[in-house]
């Protein structure tokens, strides 16, 4: 039987993403709406083990819905991966009379939450906050949409200078294991080729694609490369390869880097965060635990944390095809 | 039996929305990919009846994916509502050997397309392009996401000045019959109240909400009002009402207006437009007609034009509730 | 002889503008740098008379350089226009051991500061914060550059929809007595005509200009109208006039309104604010009083408040001419 | 005696910058205003030597004022540095009856223009287009203001993630020989330290600054580094240095790269470009040659090309001091 929930804790963990603050705000206000107390936990599981908590009421999250990053700060924790670490965390929660925990983060954070739940039978609920969109059980993770807009704006700017100088640009975007950002931003930015970890196109295909693009009359080209692409070369090596093997290209490289994480969240991410916060708190109130809140078919749905972690969202094959057609 | 498709026409009709150009580009390039010819038709049904066509190949739509508005221009047509008008249109299509028609627009445009199809058995396919998001059969219409970001950025700016002066702002956003923009942007902008056509909250509820907001310590407030809200007063009358009936408020009004339609499309709208264009052309090639392409559960799906028009997308009741909780 | 300065107060007054927070931050940090105390005064002269002060150290202004509005809030005060009001203000300053006052605001605020200085021989220094750029002694007031970018982005968006529908748009921008925003944003937005308070072009000129624009092949037009233009009609009456007197125009109206005040300040405004804050505090330290800090020939210069108020910055005649040439 | 000017050529040369298109538009429309013909020359001096010209009338530059890059494309030319190259260019100009040349570019482009003028007594006029702002005779070059806003927006985004994780970021911005971008964007972005080519602060100063920043309670820090800073280490070596020599910092690196060049120009750059284009053409008409158009004290002024090149704009020492005070 689920016990009565009077106080909920919320933390952000792992790499930050835009929309985390909006989710914190939603968790806090939903608690207020239902007459629950809410505590913010600083620096993810680190702060959880240290008992670095702060009471949050509806007013304390004023003016944060449009702020990037996370007011609760985030961290990765090695200690929480140990039984001792998790015991410390549990003790701190009990000490502060916290009855449930909302974890905003990615798959690493969810793994911790799931183990914690199994060990201590403590109610946990996950909200997917990561720009990578690599979580099963939701079509969109918090921060993905905002990151895409940031990347596309950067591509648009680079396109200006690329076409002014008839250059070939390799642009690296985030995505160590998954190519969601690369694929979506590549299509939206009108990239001539997109290299993602899920596909090993090989250098021949890249060469062919660049040659076709030139033949078709394009004087400049943009190739989007996900950090973790499978082609076996990093972006600087790609430049070298083209410099050495293909004549007539003036190649430049740009690594977009950490600015992809920050920035004021898009409307989409703010709305999504607000919906997820409500769903997370109310699911705990309904006695549910060990789930992740997700967006499926435009509705809030629960997925067991275990599935969310294992599943890894698949690359959209239809979108891959759209990309190919657009660069005909 | 569907005849062989060799040439496809594309037009934009009704109020323009961001992403229309990206959809045109996608239609044109998908035609090129499949070895079809493509003609652009200027000014919607007006240009269709006049035979104001232009041949478009893959290169002619270069550099438009990130442009607002529509390079084919748009218009509303009275003449196309008559049998004579539609006959003229048909003659022009036959004269130019066009075998299928992609119509990018809203419900009015789809009604025209549907009747045209019924009368002449001419293959038509709809792509929902309108900022209002009021079409059944797709969770998102082209331009909706971009419009939301524009509105939310404006709210953020107005919030700065509202809170600097402890003011109450009424902000009018587009949406004559539907409150999708108001509801989403209101939640994302942290509005204290949202007035939409689907709900008649009454002035009492508004007053109560403003009083509660003040009691809770908020010194400034923002109320989002859809053009067509049911409260029976326009935004200037609302201001008057508060001036006369509630003391202590310094009220200001802002009508966001037409800038909501334009602007470079968001990544979301560019990707959506690219996907829709491919699906529209390939559906015609598969012999389908009289459908609208839509986004459902993150997939491209067809909905009969008739249903798309009649259905009207419903306001998201869950989101209404989220809005209430957030303003606790 | 100027007495030793140990504590400085800072307030924002009148209409808020972007960059005010950056100026507050600069005042506070310059005080810290010189070992002075600093107090923030809430709601302009209202808070000054009430003694609504807050101690500010270098850390308390963290993270505000990029925020629109003013954390100290702003207000207009009738009471401060009376001798009694100013006496109250003086008493509060003495009570709190404040030795000098930095006033961030426009000409109304400066008038108050000047009279206050004359009556009580209290050191005051002005920082021009207003989007209108109507202050003599500085080429740029705080918030002007940011407002211009906001207006130009809105014009760009409206241009998309205007040219998609071959429409004529009248766009109203801020500027009751001066046309700086209208003129600059009009040139930058490629407006076909610009109506400003400094010039009464007359309706004939407007008609002629619209006709010339159409003859030259333009299918859509944008006319920028300053709030206070001299043509004797507001923007809605202008629409009516064209509707009644010129055939063939599809006219729309957009009033940009209060969003022009807010938003994250541009780099220009942040740098300007940072420079002005340093100059203001250090000028008080040097025993100067009753001046305004301004930007002249890219340098920080002092102008007597009296001159700053009386002078009113003139419209740039060269820019007017540029505008005419661009719309040839 | 200057001959009668009937036709003017315009080209963009060197690295592209935002505002170049607005300047081209202004040159073209000013020619139209004065009844002159105008030809656009593609790819800078390369196209000049090849006679790659295009006639431009007032309509052909429609809709480019808000586009980044340059529709005329740009290039660097080795051949134009030879007498033979310049002779070819002269022949092409004479062949096409071009009487004067407007060169939009940086100091390298101006050097070419100056030599060309001296050799052939051909009227040339320079417009400073470079994001580096390293030209004497103007307080602002075209593209500088836009680049600053781009950099500051990126810093704001990175600040979100830096402060969420308590990290130290080194951010590299453009500026091989000059630190204008780094200094201005650093002040506007609230950077804790700014490393520019004009100053060798030494690693000790950097260490000290980081330690002071931490002592003052800052948990995250941002250091802006100009490409060409004098500290003797590139940005990746700086990270290594801190990793090895200072404990407790979680260091990240971001190289903003080419997106700094592109993007829709700010209002400031559009207005400046419009003014410069008018001044350039009208100066040629007045018989002037071998000058650069610049912005000095908010007025258009001419500076001999020789001085513009030699002078190099100095870093603003006052702003350096402001930067120091802000990071107290």
pLDDT in tens, chain B (328 residues): 457 999 999 999 999 999 999 999 999 999 999 999 999 999 999 999 999 999 999 999 999 999 999 999 999 999 999 999 999 999 999 999 999 999 999 999 999 999 999 999 999 999 999 999 999 999 999 999 999 999 999 999 999 999 999 999 999 999 988 999 999 999 999 999 999 998 877 888 888 888 888 887 778 899 999 998 777 788 999 999 999 998 888 999 999 999 999 999 999 999 999 999 999 999 999 999 999 999 999 999 999 999 999 877 788 999 999 999 998 7
Alpha helices in chain B (DSSP H): 20-33, 44-50, 83-95, 107-120, 144-165, 180-188, 202-215, 235-245, 267-285, 305-311, 317-326
Question: Å from C112 to nearest chain D CA?
Answer: 29
- Among B33, B267, B274, whose Cβ lies nearest the Cβ of A185? B267
CA C43 from centre of chain = 17
What is the value of ipTM here, to two decimals?
0.96
Q: Is C299 helix (H, G, I), strand (E, B) or coil?
A: strand
The CATH code of domain C147-261 reads 3.40.50.460
C1 pLDDT above the threshold of 60: no
pLDDT of residue C237 exceeding 80, the answer is yes
pLDDT at B289: 97
The rounded distance, in Å, linking the Cα atoms of A239 and A236 is 5
Residues contacting D3, CB < 8 A, separation 6+: D99
| pLDDT, position A1 | 42
Query: Would you say residue A325 has pLDDT above 90?
Result: yes
Which residues on B lie below 8 Å from A266 (Cβ)? 149, 152, 266
- The arithmetic mean of pLDDT across residues C308-327, rounded, is 90
* B215 belongs to an annotated ligand binding site: no
**CATH 3.40.50.460 residue spans of chain D:** 145-261
D4: left (phi over 0), alpha (psi -120 to 50) or beta: beta
D213 assigned binding-site residue: no
pLDDT at D193 (0 to 100): 92
Q: Return the pLDDT at C2.
A: 56
Contacts of A20 (CB under 8 A, 6+ apart): A12, A69, A70, A72, A74, A104, A129, A142, A143, A273, D164
d(CA B98, CA D122): 55
CA quadruple C67, C73, C76, C81: dihedral, nearest 10: -120
Supply the pLDDT for residue B109: 97
Q: Which residues of A touch D142 (CB under 8 A)?
A: none
Which positions in chain D touch C33 (Cβ < 8 Å)?
Answer: 325, 328
CATH number, span A145-261: 3.40.50.460
| Spatial separation of the C-alpha atoms in residues B104 and B28, rounded to whole Å | 13
Mean pLDDT lowest for which of A211-215, B282-286, B302-306, C114-118? A211-215
pLDDT of residue C218 exceeding 90, the answer is: no
Mean pLDDT (chain D, rounded): 94
The CATH class for the domain spanning A7-143+265-311 reads alpha beta
Question: CA A262, CA A146: separation in Å to the nearest integer?
Answer: 8
How many CB contacts within 8 angstroms connect chain B with chain C? Answer: 112
DSSP string, C243-288: HHHSTT--EEEEE-GGGGT-SSPPHHHHHHHHHHHHHHHHHHHTT-
Task: Tell me the C-alpha distance between C297 and C308, whole Å.
Answer: 16
**Do the Cβ atoms of D278 and C59 come within 8 Å?**
no
pLDDT tens by residue, A272-317: 999 999 999 999 999 999 999 999 999 999 999 999 998 777 889 9
Binding-site residues of A, in ranges, read 15, 25-29, 76-77, 106-109, 130-132, 159, 167, 174-176, 190-192, 218-220, 227, 252, 258-261
Return the pLDDT at B3. Answer: 74
By mean pLDDT, which of C135-139, D12-16, D227-231, D304-308 is the weakest? Answer: D227-231
Cβ-nearest to D268 among C33, C268, C325: C268
Count CB neighbours of C127 within 10 A.
Answer: 30
Mutate to test the interface with C, among D183, D188, D265, D293 (most CBs of C within 10 A): D188
The pLDDT, as a whole number, for residue D1 is: 42
For residue A216, the chain B residues in CB contact (below 8 A) are 58-59
CB contact under 8 A, D164 and A67: no
Q: Confirm whether residue B81 is marked as ligand binding.
A: no
Q: What are phi and psi of C41, to 5 degrees?
A: -115, 125
Catalytic residues of C: 132
The pLDDT value given to residue D2: 56
In angstroms and rounded to an integer, the radius of gyration of the C-alpha atoms of chain B is: 22
B10 marked ligand binding residue:
no
Set of chain A residues whose Cβ sits within 8 Å of the Cβ of B148: 267-268
d(CA B248, CA C123): 34
Query: Rounded to whole angstroms, how far apart are CA atoms A40 and A10?
Result: 5
- Distance in Å, alpha carbon of C287 to nearest chain B alpha carbon: 31
B184–A271 C-beta distance less than 8 A: yes
Q: Where in chain A is the domain with CATH 3.40.50.450?
A: 7-143+265-311
Find the residue in C nearest to D27 (Cα): C326
Confidence at residue B2, expressed as pLDDT on a 0 to 100 scale: 56
Q: Which residue has the higher pLDDT, A327 or D293?
A: D293
**Which residues of B are tagged catalytic?**
132
Q: Which residue of D has its CA nearest to C328?
A: D33
B126 forms beta bridges with B103, B292
Closest CB from D268, D296, D316 relative to C145: D268
What pairs with residue B170 in β-bridges?
A: B223, B253
Touching C: which chains, 3+ CB pairs < 8 A? B, D
């Amino acid at each position: 039987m689920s016990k009565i929930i009077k106080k909920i804790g919320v933390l952000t963990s792992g790499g930050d993403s835009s929309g985390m603050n909006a989710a914190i705000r939603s968790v806090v206000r939903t608690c207020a709406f239902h007459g629950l107390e809410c505590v913010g936990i600083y620096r993810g599981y680190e702060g959880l083990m240290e008992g670095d908590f702060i009471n949050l009421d509806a007013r304390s999250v004023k003016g944060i819905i449009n702020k990037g990053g996370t007011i609760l700060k985030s961290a990765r924790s090695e200690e929480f991966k140990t039984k001792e670490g998790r015991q410390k965390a549990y003790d701190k929660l009990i000490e502060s009379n916290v009855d449930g925990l909302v974890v905003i983060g990615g798959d690493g954070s969810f793994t911790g939450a799931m183990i914690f739940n199994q060990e201590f039978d403590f109610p946990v609920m996950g909200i997917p906050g990561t720009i990578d969109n690599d979580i099963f059980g939701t079509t969109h993770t918090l921060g993905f949409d905002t990151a895409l807009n940031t990347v596309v704006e950067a591509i648009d700017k680079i396109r200006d200078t690329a076409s002014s100088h008839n250059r070939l640009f390799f642009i690296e975007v985030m995505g160590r294991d998954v190519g969601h950002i690369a694929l979506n931003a590549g299509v939206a930015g009108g990239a001539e080729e997109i290299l993602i970890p899920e596909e090993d196109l090989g250098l021949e295909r890249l060469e062919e694609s660049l040659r076709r693009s030139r033949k078709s009359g394009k004087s400049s080209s943009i190739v989007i490369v996900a950090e973790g692409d499978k082609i076996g070369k990093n972006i600087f090596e790609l430049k070298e390869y083209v410099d050495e093997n293909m004549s007539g290209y003036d190649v430049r490289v740009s690594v977009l880097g950490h600015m992809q994480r920050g920035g004021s969240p898009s409307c989409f991410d703010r709305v999504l965060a607000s919906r997820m916060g409500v769903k997370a708190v109310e699911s705990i109130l309904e006695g549910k635990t060990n789930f992740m809140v997700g967006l499926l078919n435009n509705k809030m749905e629960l997925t067991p944390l275990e599935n969310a972690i294992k599943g890894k969202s698949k690359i959209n094959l239809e979108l891959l095809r759209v990309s190919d057609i657009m660069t005909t």
